[in-house]
Amino acid sequence: MTSHGTSPSPTAEGAPRPGGAGTLAGRTVSRIGYGAMQLERLRTDRGAAVALVRRAVELGVDHFDTAQFYGDGFVNEVLREALGAADDAVVVTKVGATPDSGGPLPLRLAQRPEELRADVEDNLRSLGTDRLAVVNLRRADAGPGLRAEGDQLVDLDDQLAVLTELRDEGKIGAIGLSAVTLDTLRRALPVGLACVQNSYSLVSRTDEDMLRLCTDEGIAWVPYFPLGGAFPGMPKVADESAVHSAARALGATPAQVGLAWLLHHAANVLLIPGTADPGHLEANIAVGRIALDGADIAALDAVPSRSADHVRLG
């Protein structure tokens, strides 16, 4: 499905593909993409947010992860402003939650079929397109954060029914899943999935079985919190002494080692590290040039995995 290293096919921007080439929803993308959630932090400096996205494109990124609820539309609007048709980027969004400014957390679940449809329409509007390349159904079955209760406990089949309708209508190119269990993934396979986005990193590998199923099924595995996220209480890649040792030996940073391990770990992994810092963006995109040898891999594989499922975000 993927090839590691420099790809012979450059991006539409003419850049070599960082991390090599991967496949997402039938499209070739660079294996190192960009998770746009951290752009929320640049809300008061929209120019800097747009410049960060443009820099990512120049450096070969053509896969962006977003959501309408990131900054209540702000992040989608930044992507709309920064990306043009000539960039031919795959923008992946997610539905299943909505901003909740007065609530205990900045967002709440919005899992009901009519809420999913409304969320797709909102994404179409704010991204300025008539078709979303990939939409992840963001469940709350697994991973850190919210859990569904009451009328937010919605049957998977009812949710997939509305998403397949939207795909038939041409408003969605492909469907993915997020924050799901192995059982949910198995149940959804007949719909045809482009990707699965679960919380997963070198230090939090509870979902190894799901990753392997995705590899076997030709589904991209797109880990969120690939560095352990920005929230306190999450296991962080940079907290591990084995990661620091490898980083020193490789002349890399701990974050880069965590991302390089993910790229090496399975060929269907696509990365979407999040950052609002231009230096970190460059460092993350440079990870494709880091070669881990057998001893590096063995030392990193031996890092214990810690579940983050109990962590309440926010």
Ligand X SMILES: NC(=O)c1ccc[n+]([C@@H]2O[C@H](COP(=O)([O-])OP(=O)(O)OC[C@H]3O[C@@H](n4cnc5c(N)ncnc54)[C@H](OP(=O)(O)O)[C@@H]3O)[C@@H](O)[C@H]2O)c1
* 23 contributes a contact to ligand X by CB under 6 A: no
Q: How far is the CB of 141 from ligand X (least distance, A)?
A: 11
DSSP 305: P
3-state secondary structure of 271: strand
Name the one range near ligand X by CB under 6 A: 18-26, 101-109, 154-162, 268-276: 268-276
Q: How far is the CB of 17 from ligand X (least distance, A)?
A: 19
Report which residue type is found at 112.
Answer: R
What is the token pair recorded at 301? 């594989």
Q: Which of 38, 68, 76, 123 binds ligand X (CB under 6 A)?
A: 38
* 139 contributes a contact to ligand X by CB under 6 A: no
Are 40 and 70 within 8 A, CB to CB? yes
CA terminus-to-terminus distance, the chain: 36
What is the token pair recorded at 210? 């799901």
Q: How far is the CB of 272 from ligand X (least distance, A)?
A: 5
Q: How far is the CB of 8 from ligand X (least distance, A)?
A: 27
The C-alpha atoms of residue 53 and residue 272 are separated, in whole angstroms, by 13
Contact code string over 193-222 relative to ligand X, x by CB under 6 A: ----x-------------------------
Question: For the CA atoms of the chain, what is the radius of gyration?
Answer: 18
The C-alpha atoms of residue 282 and residue 277 are separated, in whole angstroms, by 9
What is the token pair recorded at 188? 């959804």
Q: What angle do CA 101, 138, 188 make, to 5 degrees?
A: 160
* 261 contributes a contact to ligand X by CB under 6 A: no
* 11 contributes a contact to ligand X by CB under 6 A: no
3-state secondary structure of 91: strand
Q: Which of 17, 31, 63, 138 binds ligand X (CB under 6 A)?
A: 138
* 68 contributes a contact to ligand X by CB under 6 A: no
Would you call 34 a catalytic residue per the annotation? no
Q: Which of 73, 99, 226, 235 binds ligand X (CB under 6 A)?
A: 226
Contact code string over 95-134 relative to ligand X, x by CB under 6 A: ----------------------------------------
Please state whether beta strands 220-221 and 193-197 pair in parallel, antiparallel, or not at all (unpaired).
parallel
The C-alpha atoms of residue 75 and residue 60 are separated, in whole angstroms, by 20
**Number of residues binding to ligand X, judged by CB under 6 A:** 28
Active site positions, annotated: 70
Residues that bind ligand X (CB under 6 A): 35-38, 65, 94, 138, 178-179, 197, 224-230, 253, 255, 272-277, 280, 283-284
